[in-house]
Amino acid sequence: QVQLVESGGGLVQAGGSLRLSCAASGSIFSINAMGWYRQAPGKQRELVALITSVTSGVNLNYADSVKGRFTISRDYAKNTVYLQMNSVKPEDTAVYYCNAAVVTTTSGPMNLWGKGTLVTVSS
């Protein structure tokens, strides 16, 4: 069994910074991609940032709304993905979910979600 556990959410003032972490644990053979999504009240869940392993290295994808402010990174040894959030805005307020495309040693490929961590940006 594999699980994702997020941490680092909380209350931050507009213009401030916050770092989210998501650690994958369990029967992991490999992780092809890890990313962050968010869902604000009354809105659909949307992609924030994604880091994907490819033959030549990694691909990074960001939502236009966070480009230049948020940075995604991954610690491969720890099976952990981070989201550094700088210059946050009130519209960044949402529940942030970690997502991972995992190949497990027991059940093959799986698409996993964390339980979410709340980020609240005050103006």
Percent of the chain past pLDDT 70, that is, above it, reads 100
Q: 53 pLDDT exceeds 90? A: no
pLDDT band, residue 56 (cuts 50/70/90): confident
Q: What is the pLDDT of residue 42?
A: 95
What average pLDDT does the structure give for the chain?
A: 96
Which residue in 50, 45, 62, 55 sits closest to 22, CA to CA?
A: 50
More confident residue, 56 or 75: 75
pLDDT band, residue 1 (cuts 50/70/90): confident
What residues have CB less than 8 Å from 107, skipping those under 6 apart? Answer: 27
What residues have CB less than 8 Å from 5, skipping those under 6 apart? Answer: 22, 23, 25, 114, 115
Helix (H) or strand (E) holding 113: strand 108-113
For 10-29, the pLDDT digits (tens) are 999 999 999 999 999 999 99
Find out whether 4 and 24 touch, Cβ atoms under 8 Å: yes
103 Cα distance to chain centroid: 18
Percent of the chain past pLDDT 90, that is, above it, reads 93
Q: What is the pLDDT of residue 54?
A: 83
Q: What is the pLDDT of residue 57?
A: 87
Q: What is the pLDDT of residue 32?
A: 94
